[in-house]
Amino acid sequence: MEQLAERIGMAVSIARHPKQNEILTIAEELLPPSWGVAKTPSIHMDSGLVGVKPAPDATINPQEAEAIGAKLEILTGYRLSFR
């Protein structure tokens, strides 16, 4: 980081907390329309979860949910949870 700071001519630091809006944007992009998620997912910083509430009539394939959850965790470090 010191080298980068020297190169760009300004201080560089690591944020204490991730950007919540970025995590939610990624989650929303990953969720398929077939789940019928009408509300913005919720983020639980203390537990590292992104909560989604699918439509009551949504049919969710467990393998698809697992794959989406795995990708969300790889991209953000947060796990998918259903409300």
What are the structural domains of the chain? 18-82 (3.30.300)
pLDDT by residue, tens only, the chain of 83 residues: 889 889 999 998 888 888 999 999 999 999 999 999 989 999 999 999 999 999 999 989 999 999 999 999 999 999 999 98
Helix (H) or strand (E) holding 43: strand 42-44
Proportion of the chain in helix, strand, coil states, percent, rounded to 5: 45, 15, 45
Distance CA 53, CA 60 (A): 12
Q: What is the pTM of this model?
A: 0.81
